[in-house]
Amino acid sequence: MGVAKFYHLTQGPLEATAPVLLRRAVGQGWSVVVRGTDPERMDWLDRKLWQGPEDEFLPHGLAGGPHDARQPVLLTVSGDKPNDPSGLMAIDGAEVSPEEVEALERVWILFDGHDERAMILARGQWKALTGAGCKAEYWSEESGRWQMKTESG
């Protein structure tokens, strides 16, 4: 049984926070699907991940290639999970089902605290997932470092 961890981004941007979480997951031997809603945004994230420091390289790929099943981190806009992930990272309001939370080790839902639409979507996801009985945690960086503020389940 997994847990959905909601990350309220207010200090650092997505392109700084996501790689940290993804490196930890890959370091544990997990593969992860990063699900977004816009192919152009996923292309942007792909470029950001390639531009990171060489000593912090994160092996990853965009969905649709010949080696999707072998990618430690697969960026996609679909619900497919060809790399048999242990975790799912949802960005930009991408949908996450209660069944996915239950089946995976971890689900991360990252949302921009400066975007009202993102906040509304995250609140809706919290209600839907916790209402379905999923364990969830809300993490905030308002103090300058990540702290768990509340949990459900």
Indicate the pTM of the whole model: 0.96
- Number of CB atoms found within 10 A of residue 47's CB: 10
- The structural domains of the chain, with segments of one domain joined by +, span 3-152
**Widest CA span in the chain:** 43
Give the pairing of strands 61-62 and 147-152: unpaired
Asked if the model's pLDDT at residue 52 lies above 80, the reply is: no
Band of residue 144 on the pLDDT scale cut at 50, 70, 90 = confident
φ/ψ region of 87 (left if φ > 0, alpha if ψ in -120 to 50, else beta) reads: beta
The residue whose two tokens read 């497919």 is: 80
Tokens standing for residue 113: 């605290």
Q: Report whether CATH 3.90.1170.50 matches the domain 3-152.
A: no
- Average pLDDT, rounded, for the chain: 95
DSSP letters spanning 12-52: S-HHHHHHHHHHHHHHTT--EEEE-S-HHHHHHHHHHHHTS
The residue whose two tokens read 């799912």 is: 88
Q: Using alpha carbons, list the distances in angstroms from residue 53 to 57, 102, 106.
A: 6, 34, 26
Asked if the model's pLDDT at residue 23 lies above 80, the reply is: yes
pLDDT value, residue 94: 98
